[in-house]
Amino acid sequence: MNLMLFGAPGAGKGTQAKFLIEKYNIPQISTGDILRAAIVEKTDMGMEAKKFMDEGKLVPDSTIIGIIKDRLAESDCKEGFILDGFPRTLAQAVALSELMSNMGISLDKVISLNVPDELIVGRITGRRVCSKCGASFHVEFNPSKKEDECDYCGGELIIRKDDNAETVISRLNAYHDQTAPLIDFYTKMGVFVELDGTKDVSEVTADMLNALS
């Protein structure tokens, strides 16, 4: 199963990806997580990407497409994968189509989690992420069982540097200007499914699994 989770920053893609990993036993490919790992490792790519991320701007397509090309070639992607936060531009979407067609595979579904902008700021400012596995929690809407500790791996929960009210605005602008045009692209491809992302986490999961069955 080759899936993509689509939606604004903070729509719940990472949260729902965790359930798909368990259900289908396929890896989540989050370009955001890969970039943050490169920043921790202080690679050249990470240091370059950091400038864009801290400002809430998209990292250049060439960098992102290179990351995805390498990642899809890894052996754990053979049975499928869950794309999370990629593609975010038309150029990335076209590159993905080309890559997948060269691999002889295609996208089964693009699941869009629809959440209006007014709700996004609260989601992002209350987000806590695991410093070890990247799992996402929310202080109010989706709290971890133990404060500051990841339910999945026990890692420490932290606030992402870009999760503040100022960058949210530019990230939402980037979403509407550069990413939203993909809705048309994937609708025409016949794989686009829209879900109400404002429901509770468990209800969104149920709707998503229903859409995939």
Residues 124-158 as b or e (16 or more Cβ within 10 Å = b): bebbbbbeeebbbbbeeebebeeeeebbeeebebe
127 is catalytic: yes
| Sign of the torsion formed by the C-alpha atoms of 10, 11, 15 and 20 | negative
- The answer to whether the annotation marks 136 as part of a ligand binding site is yes
160 is catalytic: yes
* DSSP 8-state secondary structure symbol assigned to residue 163: -
Q: What residue 58 binds from ligand ADP, Zn ion, none (CB within 5 to 8 A, per partner kind)?
A: ligand ADP
Cα–Cα distance, 120 to 198 (Å, whole number): 10
Tell me the residue nearest to ligand ADP as measured from the CB. 32
Pair 37, 134: CB distance under 8 Å:
no
Which residues would be at the binding site for Zn ion (CB under 5 A)?
A: 130, 132-133, 135, 150, 152-153, 155
88 is catalytic: yes
Nearer to ligand ADP, 62 or 104 (CB): 62
13 is catalytic: yes
Phi/psi at 187 (5° precision)? -65, -45
Q: Using DSSP bridges, classify how beta strands 157-158 and 81-84 pair: parallel, antiparallel or unpaired.
A: unpaired
Which three-class secondary structure state does DSSP give residue 93? helix
Q: What residue 59 binds from ligand ADP, Zn ion, none (CB within 5 to 8 A, per partner kind)?
A: ligand ADP
128 is catalytic: no
Catalytic residue among 18, 50, 71, 88: 88
Which residues would be at the binding site for ligand ADP (CB under 6 A)?
A: 7, 9-15, 31-32, 35, 52-53, 56-59, 64, 85-88, 92, 123, 126-127, 136-138, 141-142, 171, 199-201, 204
- The answer to whether the annotation marks 104 as part of a ligand binding site is no
Instruction: Using CB atoms within 10 Å of the CB of residue 13, give its burial: 0 to 12 exposed, 13 to 18 middle, 19+ buried.
Output: buried
Which three-class secondary structure state does DSSP give residue 191? coil
Shortest distance (Å) from residue 20 CB to ligand ADP: 12
**Binding residue positions for ATP:** 10-15, 127, 136-137, 199
**Binding residue positions for AMP:** 31, 36, 57-59, 85-88, 92, 160, 171
**Binding residue positions:** 10-15, 31, 36, 57-59, 85-88, 92, 127, 130, 133, 136-137, 150, 153, 160, 171, 199
Active centre residues (catalytic):
13, 88, 127, 160, 171
